[in-house]
Homo-oligomer: A and B are copies of this chain.
Amino acid sequence: MADMEEQDLIAAGSASIYDEDGGFKSEFLDKVKAALAAGDAEGVIELAGALHESDLGALLVALDSDQRLRLVELMGPHFDFAALTEIDANIRDEILEELPNRAVAEGVRELESDDAVTLLEDLEPEDQAEILGALPPIDRAQLQRSLDYPEHSAGRLMQTTFVTAPPYWTAGQAIDVMRDADEADLPDSFFEIFIVDPAHRLLGTLFLDTLLRARSTTLLQDIMSSDRRRVEVTEDQEDVARVFERYNLVSVAVVDEGERLVGVITIDDVVDVIQEEADANLKALGGVSESEELSDTVWWTTKSRFVWLFVNLITAFVASAVLGLFEGSLQKMVALAVLAPIVASQGGNAATQTMTVVVRALATRELSHSNATRVLWREIFVGALNGAAFGVLTGVVAGYWFGLAGIGVVIALAMLTNLVAGALGGILIPRILDHFDIDPAVSSSAFVTTVTDVVGYGSFLGIATLWFSLG
Interface residues of A (CB under 8 A from B): 2-3, 6, 9, 13, 21-24, 29, 52, 54, 62, 175, 178-179, 181, 186, 189-191, 197, 201-203, 207-215, 226-229, 242, 244-250, 259, 266-268, 270-271, 274-275, 278-279, 281-283, 285-288, 292, 294, 296-299, 301-302, 305-306, 308-310, 312-313, 316-317, 319-320, 323-324, 327, 330-331, 334, 337-342, 344-346, 349-350, 352-353, 355-357, 360-361, 364-371, 375, 378, 381-382, 385-386, 389-390, 393-394, 397, 449, 453
Known: A2-B201, A9-B228, A323-B341. A313 touches B22 (CB 8 A): no
A415 to B, closest residue via Cβ? B313
Indicate if the CB atoms of B327 and A342 lie closer than 8 Å.
Answer: no
Task: Looking at the assembled complex, report how far the CB atom of A293 sits from the nearest CB atom of chain B, in whole angstroms.
Answer: 8
Most chain B CB atoms below 10 A, which of A229, A370, A393, A453: A370
Known: A175-B212, A302-B382. A346 touches B282 (CB 8 A): no
Known: A283-B360, A306-B386. A378 touches B301 (CB 8 A): yes
Indicate if the CB atoms of B287 and A353 lie closer than 8 Å.
Answer: yes
Task: Looking at the assembled complex, report how far the CB atom of A207 sits from the nearest CB atom of chain B, in whole angstroms.
Answer: 6
Residues of B within 8 A of A345 (CB): 312, 316, 319, 449, 453
Indicate if the CB atoms of B397 and A317 lie closer than 8 Å.
Answer: yes
Indicate if the CB atoms of B197 and A2 lie closer than 8 Å.
Answer: yes
| Docked pose: A296 CA to B357 CA in angstroms | 12
Besides A248-B271, A287-B349, A316-B342, 11 more A-B contacts (Cβ < 8 Å) are A21-B368, A52-B247, A208-B209, A250-B268, A285-B356, A305-B386, A308-B349, A317-B397, A330-B338, A341-B341, A345-B449
Residues of B within 8 A of A334 (CB): 327, 330-331, 334, 337
How many chain copies does the complex carry? 2
Residues of B within 8 A of A215 (CB): 179
Task: Looking at the assembled complex, report how far the CB atom of A236 sits from the nearest CB atom of chain B, in whole angstroms.
Answer: 13
Residues of B within 8 A of A250 (CB): 191, 250, 266-268
Task: Looking at the assembled complex, report how far the CB atom of A213 sits from the nearest CB atom of chain B, in whole angstroms.
Answer: 6
Residues of B within 8 A of A267 (CB): 250, 267-268, 271
